């Protein structure tokens, strides 16, 4: 593995400025295919020595998700705290994929141990595993959150730059997809038109595709879509253990256009729980995932 | 005073009283929970000559409650001619409120702590509490904490137009967002309960309740209120054809497989009920009847949030545990009072008790509890016909069953009540 150069950030960049920068990057990266072919991920990792946790934001988050207010950090809240750091890697001039318009495919998270609200946290983020995907190019963005001595939280977010091909465009790879059949629902979420704005107000993630029909249209969507991490947060609320670590993952299928009625199903498994959500009217799958609670003895970084 | 513990003694059901149940936003629209509970208590006091008596306790409750009703039952007692020295307290366990109130009072009597008690419940969806929105409430609370003008103005500036819309109580389960009917629709489908079977149960409920009125069964169980003398939901002339013509009301996402209608589901209802309990000595000393012993009761709860069980299936578990404790089988009863939240609830519960797999895997039983003689089920009608003012249903069931057992002169009755939050309370009564 090629060693990564560490870039230390003084403070978490604001997502607003990152989105502005991303717009520029999008234009800059409209390069001919041939030029992009040689591009590689930057061999860097961005570090934030101190990740501030605002207890008031934590309460607001827990209320938003319908979770109990506790002094420990929900896993998706941690994701939100370090998302600006992850973004800072993706908006670098030498990051080869256009950020805006990127599709969020999945998350895999090791929530290694319970994280108290007053923990002193630091984080490191980098990108790896840029690879071909049937619809473009996928990349993993890794973030590790530590308390200075060990990794408490490790998240892999996978994004897809749709229609962007690093090499030559692959031939027609039509994977036979099994049609989605909704299971018996165990719950129903009514996502109001302002769901994206409510999430942004708490987590600071003002991505225009989630905020309003108007801002989403500007980016080519018919209406605003529900934030994937909002849905992940709802799924995990009340379903994760409090005193031990756990792993969870979520995979996104089709977007949920706001306002939306999402039917969900939770199912107990021997070592945790699986969950899925789909459009109550459209019947289209929005997400599926699982929570795995397993006794963990140690956690490794990479 | 004895320095040794007394042996457990029987708790006796002496009688009951309720006001007729009325469909919501009908004749009781202007009546409050306190008005209706007081009326039910007044009728009970008059029937059994309790004026001026200090009872051991009065416990009741309401599922939908105004914050001003923090002492609903005590305030109601103060409005009756019972001695003002009668202690009272509120119980709240969703639709099992009445059963929990009566059962815990029976326990106190059994232990010799009290000699007499009234348990019951009341509910209205016509006079329901309306709350300000969470946004406005948060601002108002911050405003009350602010000590100077600047933070006060800052708080006020946070008010948004949408915050001015009030919050009415919903029927949705907070953790799933599904209404109780939509939850039951999942269970009804899982147990393959047919539309026809549900409609037949609903029809039987109306026919049985009408017949009970016909033979004046309720004459000493009901006192008229607000010009109403009979449950207003009762449709004595209902037919299977009429019921079959109704469109699905719940589980509409199931499309053609939706089976639950307004006809085989209980409507929102207003009403109140009360049951007088006592020790044998208390009944004898006051020359009061003894209809039945309140033998035992059991609560259960299930994990419906993550789909392990149906929302209203807790009584299936509670009955299994209670039968075991009392060395009884499901067939050892002369009457079954299974609260008809939905026809599908009753039929799913019966199906579960008769299912070897459910009884083995969920209840841990080697053999299924088995089927019941359906001619013993809800013989004087139940909630589908009478209506279901949430907390008042327990009192209706206990008083009705106790009278039926006393009329028969022997035997045993089983009560089963499901409740929101995946809970349920069941009980055994024995004739005297």
The region of weakest confidence among A142-146, B93-97, B146-150, B308-312 is B146-150
Mutant choice from B158, B306, B310 vs A, greatest count of A C-beta within 10 A: B306
Q: Which residue has the higher pLDDT, B292 or A294?
A: B292
Q: Which of B388, B171, B315, B261 has its CA nearest to residue A188?
A: B171
Probe site for chain A from B307, B313, B421, B422 (most A CB atoms < 10 A): B307
Which 8-state DSSP code applies to residue A72? B
Q: Do A266 and B307 touch (CB under 8 A)?
A: yes
Partner-chain residue, chosen from A184, A190, A268, that has the shortest CB–CB distance to B308: A268
pLDDT of residue A243: 84
Give the residue from chain B lying closest to A236, CA to CA. Answer: B306
- If DSSP codes are grouped into helix, strand and coil, which group holds residue A221? coil
What mean pLDDT is reported for chain B?
95
Beta-carbon count within 10 A of B397 CB: 29
- Write the CB contacts of B135 (distance below 8 Å, at least 6 apart in sequence): B158, B159, B160, B162, B163
Q: Residue A185: list chain B partners with CB under 8 A.
A: 178, 186, 253
Give me the pLDDT at residue B7, please.
82
Which of A186, A189, A280 shows the shortest C-beta gap to B306?
A186
* Model pLDDT for residues B340-399, shown as the tens digit of each residue: 999 999 999 999 999 999 999 999 999 999 999 999 999 999 999 999 999 999 999 999
Give A164→chain B minimum CA distance, Å: 39
Give the closest of A184, A238, A266 to B186, CB-based.
A184
What pLDDT is recorded for position A174? 58
The answer to whether the CB atoms of A239 and B177 lie below 8 A apart is no
> How many angstroms away from the CA of A66 is the closest CA of chain B?
8
Q: Is B183 annotated as catalytic?
A: no
Number of domains within chain A = 2
Residue A187 with chain B: CB contacts under 8 Å = 175-178, 305
The answer to whether position A170 is within a domain reads: no
Domain-ending residue, one of A143, A165, A187: A165
Indicate whether A72 and A119 sit together in one domain. yes
Residue (of B229, B268, B221) closest to B124 by Cα position: B268
- Residue A288: strand pairing partners: A251, A276
pLDDT at res. A166:
72
**Contact residues for B91 (Cβ-Cβ < 8 A; gap 6+):** B59, B60, B61, B97, B100, B101, B104, B121
Of B135-139, B191-195, B387-391, B407-411, the least confident: B135-139
| Least Cα separation, residue A275 to chain B (angstroms) | 9
Does residue A197 lie within any of the structural domains?
yes
Provide the pLDDT for residue A13. Answer: 76
- Non-local (6+) Cβ contacts of B4 within 8 A are none
Pick from B163, B165, B172, B177 the residue to mutate for testing the A interface (most A CBs within 10 Å): B177
- CB–CB contact B178 A265 (8 Å): no
CB contact under 8 A, A186 and B186: yes
Is A132 within the bounds of a domain?
A: yes
Residue B50 has pLDDT above 80, yes or no: yes
Cα of A36 to nearest chain B Cα, Å: 47
When comparing pLDDT for B229 and B127, which is higher? B229
B177–A190 CB contact, under 8 Å:
yes
Report CB contact under 8 Å: B176, A186.
yes
Average pLDDT estimate for B125-153: 83
A271 touches chain B (CB under 8 A): no
Query: Given A136, A165, A194, which residue is the final one in a domain?
Result: A165
| Averaged pLDDT for residues B393-406 | 98
- Position A22 confidence tier, pLDDT thresholds 50, 70, 90: low
pLDDT classification of B154: cutoffs 50, 70, 90? confident
Could you tell me if A151 and A182 lie in one domain?
no
Quick check: B104 contacting A, CB < 8 Å? no
Asked whether residue A53 is domain-assigned, the answer is yes
Which pLDDT tens digit goes with each residue over B245-298? 999 999 998 989 999 999 999 999 999 999 999 999 999 999 999 999 999 999
> Cβ neighbours of residue B150 under 8 Å, at least 6 residues apart?
none
Q: How far apart are CA B104 and CA B120, in angstroms?
A: 11
In this predicted structure, the answer to whether residue A29 has a pLDDT above a threshold of 70 is no
Residue A48 host element (H or E): strand A44-51
**Would you say residue A300 has pLDDT above 90?**
no
In degrees, rounded to 5, the angle at the alpha carbon of residue A157 between the alpha carbons of residues A152 and A162 is 175
Contact B274, B40 (CB under 8 A): yes
Q: Do B307 and A238 touch (CB under 8 A)?
A: no
Pairing of strands B269-278, A103-111: unpaired
CB pair distance less than 8 Å for B305 and A188: no
User: Which residues of chain A neighbour B182 with C-beta distances below 8 Å?
Assistant: 188
CB contact under 8 A, B307 and A190: no
- Judge: B303–A268 Cβ closer than 8 Å, yes or no: yes
C-alpha span between B404 and B147 (Å, rounded): 63
Q: In this complex, is the C-beta atom of B176 within 8 Å of any C-beta atom belonging to chain A? A: yes
pLDDT at res. A126: 97
- The verdict on A33 and A129 lying in the same domain is yes
Strand ranges inside B3-160, DSSP E: 12-18, 22-23, 58-60, 88-90, 116-123
- What would the pLDDT profile of B7-29 be if each residue is shown by its tens digit? 899 999 999 999 999 999 999 99
CA distance B297 to A120: 51
- B-chain residues near A260 (CB < 8 A): none
Surface of B (307-326) touching A: CB under 8 A: 307-308
In whole angstroms, what is the distance from residue A155 CA to residue A150 CA? 14
Looking at residue B75, what is its pLDDT?
A: 97
pLDDT at B161: 77
- CA-CA distances (angstroms) from residue A91 to A23, A36, A127, B283, B307? 9, 16, 11, 83, 42
- The pTM is what? 0.89
Catalytic annotation on B418? yes
- Judged by a CB distance cut-off of 8 A, whether residue A197 touches chain B is no
Read off the pLDDT of residues A49-96 as tens digits, 9 standing for 90 and up: 999 999 999 999 999 999 999 999 999 999 999 999 999 999 888 898
In a domain, A300, yes or no: no
The answer to whether residue A299 sits within a structural domain is: no
State the pLDDT at residue A270.
87
Residues A248 and A214 placed together within one structural domain of the fold: yes
CATH 3.40.47.10 fits B180-217+295-430, yes or no: yes
Nearest to B58 by CA among B31, B35, B32, B37: B37
Tell whether A185 lies on the interface with B, counting CB pairs under 8 A: yes
Query: Could you tell me the residue range of the domain that residue A107 belongs to?
Result: 1-165
Q: Is residue A30 part of a domain?
A: yes
Instruction: Please say if the pLDDT value at position B32 is more than 60.
Output: yes
Is omega for the bond preceding A259 within 30 degrees of 0, making it cis?
A: yes
- Establish how many alpha carbons lie within 13 A of residue A88's alpha carbon, considering only the half-sphere containing its beta carbon: 23
Exactly one of B183, B206, B339, B388 is catalytic; name it: B388
Query: Do A24 and A113 reside in the same domain of the chain?
Result: yes
**Residue A27, min C-alpha distance to chain B (Å):** 38
The span from the first CA to the last CA of chain B, in angstroms, equals 30
Report the pLDDT averaged over residues B123-131: 83
Q: Do A107 and A226 sit in the same domain of this protein? A: no
Q: Report how far residue B185's alpha carbon sits from residue B422's, in angstroms, rounded to the nearest whole number.
A: 14
Q: Is B388 a catalytic residue?
A: yes
Judgement on whether residues A127 and A156 belong to the same structural domain of the protein: yes
Give the residue extent of every domain in chain B. Answer: 180-217+295-430
Which residues have a Cβ under 8 Å from the Cβ of A293 and sit 6 or more positions away? A241, A244, A246, A271, A272
Which residues, at least 6 apart from A300, have a Cβ–Cβ distance to it below 8 Å?
A151
Option in A66, A273, A280 nearest B253 (CB): A280
Let me know if residue A246 belongs to a domain.
yes
Residues A7 and A122 occupy one common structural domain: yes
List the one residue out of B331, B209, B347, B325 whose CA is nearest residue B265.
B347
B329 and chain A in contact, CB less than 8 A? no
Q: Does the beta carbon of A186 lie under 8 angstroms from any beta carbon of chain B?
A: yes
CB contact under 8 A, A185 and B186: yes
Residue of B nearest to A279 (CA): B253
Give the closest of B189, B253, B306 to A273, CB-based.
B306
**Residues A143, A50: one domain?**
yes
Per-residue pLDDT band for A171 (boundaries 50, 70, 90) equals: low
The CATH number covering residue A192 comes to 3.10.129.10
In the block, tokens 């035997």 appear at: B411
**Residues B395, B427: Cα–Cα separation, whole Å:** 12
pLDDT tens per residue across span B198-250: 999 999 999 999 999 999 999 999 999 999 999 999 999 999 999 999 999 99
DSSP string, B78-103: HTSSS-TT--EEE--BTBTHHHHHHH
Span B301-347, pLDDT tens digits = 999 998 889 999 999 999 999 999 999 999 999 999 999 999 999 99
A14 and A134 part of one domain: yes
């Amino acid at each position: 593995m090629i060693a990564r150069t560490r870039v230390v950030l003084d403070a978490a960049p604001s997502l607003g400025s990152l989105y502005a920068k991303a717009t520029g990057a999008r234009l800059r990266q409209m390069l001919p295919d041939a030029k992009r072919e040689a591009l590689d991920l930057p061999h860097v990792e961005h570090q934030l020595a101190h990740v501030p946790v605002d207890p008031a934001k934590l309460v607001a988050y827990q209320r938003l998700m319908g979770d109990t207010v506790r002094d420990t950090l929900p896993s998706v809240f941690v994701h939100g705290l370090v998302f600006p750091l992850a973004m800072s890697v993706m908006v670098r001039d030498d990051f080869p994929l256009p950020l805006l318009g990127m599709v969020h495919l999945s998350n895999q998270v090791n929530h290694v141990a319970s994280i108290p609200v007053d923990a002193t946290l630091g984080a490191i983020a980098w990108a790896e595993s840029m690879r071909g995907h049937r619809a473009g190019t996928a990349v993993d963005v890794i973030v590790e959150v530590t308390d200075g001595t060990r990794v408490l939280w490790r998240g892999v977010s996978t994004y897809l730059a749709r229609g962007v091909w690093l090499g030559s465009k692959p031939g027609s790879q039509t994977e036979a997809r099994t049609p989605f059949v909704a299971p018996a629902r165990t719950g129903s979420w009514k996502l109001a038109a302002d769901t994206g704005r409510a999430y942004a107000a708490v987590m600071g993630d003002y991505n225009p595709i989630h905020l309003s029909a108007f801002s989403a249209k500007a980016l080519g969507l018919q209406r605003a879509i529900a934030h994937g991490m909002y849905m992940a947060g709802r799924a995990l609320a009340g379903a994760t253990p409090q005193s031990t670590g756990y792993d969870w993952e979520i995979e996104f299928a089709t977007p949920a256009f706001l306002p939306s009625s999402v039917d969900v199903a939770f199912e107990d498994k021997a070592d945790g729980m699986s969950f899925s959500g789909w459009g109550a009217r459209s019947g289209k799958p929005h997400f599926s995932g699982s929570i795995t609670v397993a006794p963990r003895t140690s956690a490794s970084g990479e | 005073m004895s320095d040794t513990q007394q042996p457990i003694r029987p708790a006796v059901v002496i009688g009951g009283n309720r006001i007729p149940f009325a469909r919501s936003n009908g004749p009781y629209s202007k009546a409050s929970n306190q008005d209706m509970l007081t009326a039910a208590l007044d009728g009970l006091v008059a029937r059994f000559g309790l004026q001026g008596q200090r009872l051991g306790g009065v416990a009741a409750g309401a599922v939908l409650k105004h914050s001003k009703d923090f002492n609903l039952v005590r305030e109601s007692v103060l409005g009756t001619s019972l001695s003002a020295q009668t202690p009272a307290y509120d119980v709240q366990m969703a639709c099992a409120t009445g059963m929990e109130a009566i059962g815990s009072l029976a326990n106190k009597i059994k232990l010799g702590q009290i000699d007499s008690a009234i348990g019951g419940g009341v509910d209205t969806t016509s006079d329901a509490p309306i709350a300000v929105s969470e946004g406005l409430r948060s601002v108002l609370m911050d405003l009350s904490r602010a000590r100077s003008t600047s933070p006060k103005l800052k708080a006020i500036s946070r008010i948004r137009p949408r915050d001015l819309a009030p919050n009415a109580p919903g029927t949705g389960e907070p953790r799933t967002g599904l209404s109780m009917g939509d939850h039951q629709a999942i269970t009804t489908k899982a147990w393959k309960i047919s539309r026809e079977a549900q409609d037949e149960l609903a029809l039987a409920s109306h026919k049985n309740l009408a017949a009970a009125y016909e033979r004046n069964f309720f004459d000493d169980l009901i006192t008229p209120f607000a010009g109403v003398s009979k449950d207003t939901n009762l449709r004595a002339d209902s037919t299977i054809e009429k019921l079959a013509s109704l469109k699905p009301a719940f589980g509409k996402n199931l499309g053609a497989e939706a089976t639950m209608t307004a006809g085989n589901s209980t409507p929102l209802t207003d009403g109140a009920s009360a049951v007088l309990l006592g020790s044998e000595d208390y009944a004898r000393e006051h020359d009061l009847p003894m209809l039945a012993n309140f033998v035992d009761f059991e609560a259960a709860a299930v994990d419906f949030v993550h789909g392990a069980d149906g929302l209203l299936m807790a009584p299936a578990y509670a009955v299994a545990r209670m039968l075991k404790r009392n060395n009884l089988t499901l067939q050892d009863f002369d009457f079954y009072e299974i609260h008809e939240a939905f026809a599908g609830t009753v039929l799913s519960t019966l199906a579960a008790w008769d299912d070897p797999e459910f009884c083995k895997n969920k209840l841990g039983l080697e053999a299924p509890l088995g089927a019941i003689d359906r001619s013993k089920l809800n013989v004087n009608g139940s909630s589908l016909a009478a209506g279901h003012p949430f907390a008042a249903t327990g009192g209706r069931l206990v008083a009705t069953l106790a009278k039926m057992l006393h009329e028969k002169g022997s035997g045993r009755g089983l009560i089963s009540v499901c409740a929101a939050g995946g809970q349920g309370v069941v009980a055994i009564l024995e004739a005297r």
